[in-house]
């Protein structure tokens, strides 16, 4: 490994707003705490949650370096990092943490995984947060069974694409929504059985759900869109089914009367990935499961584009357009 510099390039925000608040600047390289690893980032994931912190939808202290995941190589180990984790300088790793939009990130060792042979660093980063999100949705938020009908909104998005692949592997039957005709074939290749172009004047999601399920509704709706689709998701879900609202692409879901759920004994969940991976045991379990799907099941990792770190504003504009297909990555 090259010597660790004192300063590095990073993307910092000092206030909330549009892409104009993203500052590409020099800041000090972090010094890892006793239980942390210093990682030289090679690929950095762009996730919709990054835009929530930028706009202020999710409040956070400022100044702030954005970014929740990256892959790279270990540059230094804190003095108290457990030997049982087996980390060494130069190891290829992928992690979930904070302040990833930078050349170097200090991350708790408990939230770092070695990348197995057979998986590239770019694929590991592209798969990690979104793949783990999808995996915990189908295992924890609603335990999907073979033969279940499931509705996935934004089926060619980052999480949506992983959901389609996982649901196919589980033997479920998937109805996916997409935003344009050009995404239909991609959604089908990823595992959607029925695909609807969901935009004004084209595609009737509720009608299609009823036709596919003989009017029973779907066992689960995985809704990362939020405000614009939540009420319809409640209409589409079956008796005793689950609406998993895990994103706010169209805005935050507005307050609703909980008594609405009694008509079907339906459940609504608003999960966050980090609460499913709170312990090291949980984190390792799902990370290993994800890696198995990637290696043994040959799950495809779709990367929309790789942007230089200094072009982060363009990446945020693209992901907010909801026209991307697959993962957006940055590289320092």
Please tell me the predicted confidence (pLDDT) of residue 202. 60
Tell me the average pLDDT across 212-222: 98
Measured distance CA(112)–CA(209) in Å, rounded: 40
Tell me the average pLDDT across 245-270: 94
Question: What percentage of the chain carries pLDDT values higher than 90?
Answer: 89
- Identify which of 168, 167, 190, 166 has the alpha carbon closest to the alpha carbon of residue 178: 190
- Does residue 100 surpass a pLDDT of 90? yes
- Does residue 121 surpass a pLDDT of 80? yes
Bridge partner list, 261: none
Contacts (Cβ under 8 Å, ≥6 apart) of 247 = 48, 159, 223, 224, 225, 226
- Identify which of 289, 291, 244, 241 has the alpha carbon closest to the alpha carbon of residue 266: 241
- Does residue 181 surpass a pLDDT of 70? yes
- Residue pLDDT, tens place only, 184-216: 999 999 999 999 999 866 669 999 999 999 999
Tell me the average pLDDT across 280-296: 96
Tell me the average pLDDT across 124-149: 97
Kindly report the average pLDDT of the chain as a whole number: 95
- Does residue 157 surpass a pLDDT of 90? no
In a 3-state reduction of DSSP, which class is residue 292? helix
Measured distance CA(281)–CA(278) in Å, rounded: 8
Measured distance CA(221)–CA(81) in Å, rounded: 40
Residues 207-225 as b/e (b if ≥16 CB within 10 A, e otherwise) read: ebbbebbeeebbbbbbbbb
Whole-structure pTM value: 0.92
- Residue pLDDT, tens place only, 45-93: 999 899 999 999 999 999 999 999 999 999 999 999 988 899 999 999 9
Please tell me the predicted confidence (pLDDT) of residue 203. 67
Please tell me the predicted confidence (pLDDT) of residue 324. 81
Least reliable range by pLDDT among 21-30, 89-98, 218-227, 244-253: 244-253
Least reliable range by pLDDT among 79-88, 273-282, 309-318: 79-88
Please tell me the predicted confidence (pLDDT) of residue 201. 63
């Amino acid at each position: 490994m090259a010597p660790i510099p004192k300063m590095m390039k990073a993307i910092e925000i000092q206030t909330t707003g549009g892409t104009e608040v993203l500052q590409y600047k020099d800041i000090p390289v972090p010094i890892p705490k006793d239980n942390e690893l210093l990682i030289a980032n090679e690929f950095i994931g762009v996730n919709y949650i990054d835009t929530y912190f930028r706009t202020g939808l999710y409040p956070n202290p400022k100044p702030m370096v954005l970014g929740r995941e990256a892959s790279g190589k270990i540059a230094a180990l804190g003095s108290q990092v457990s030997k049982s984790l087996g980390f060494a300088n130069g190891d290829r790793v992928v992690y979930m943490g904070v302040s990833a939009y930078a050349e170097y990130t200090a991350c708790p060792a408990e939230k770092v995984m070695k990348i197995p042979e057979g998986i590239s660093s770019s694929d590991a980063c592209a798969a990690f947060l979104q793949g783990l999100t999808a995996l915990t949705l189908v295992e924890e938020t609603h335990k999907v069974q073979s033969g279940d009908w499931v509705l996935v909104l934004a089926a060619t998005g980052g999480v949506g694409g992983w959901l389609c692949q996982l649901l196919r592997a589980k033997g479920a039957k998937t109805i996916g929504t997409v935003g344009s005709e050009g995404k239909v074939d991609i959604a089908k290749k990823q595992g959607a059985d029925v695909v609807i172009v969901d935009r004004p004047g084209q595609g009737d999601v509720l009608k299609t759900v009823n036709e596919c399920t003989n009017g029973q509704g779907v066992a689960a709706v995985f809704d990362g869109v939020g405000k614009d689709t939540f009420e319809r998701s409640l209409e589409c879900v079956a008796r005793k089914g689950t609406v998993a609202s895990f994103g706010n692409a169209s805005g935050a879901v507005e307050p609703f009367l909980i008594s609405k759920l009694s008509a079907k004994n339906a459940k609504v969940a608003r999960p966050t990935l980090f609460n499913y991976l709170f312990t090291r045991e949980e984190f390792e379990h799902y990370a290993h499961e994800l890696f198995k799907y990637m290696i043994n099941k040959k799950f495809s990792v779709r990367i929309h584009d790789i942007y230089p770190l200094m072009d982060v504003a363009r990446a945020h504009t693209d992901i907010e357009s909801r026209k991307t297909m697959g993962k957006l990555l940055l590289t320092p």
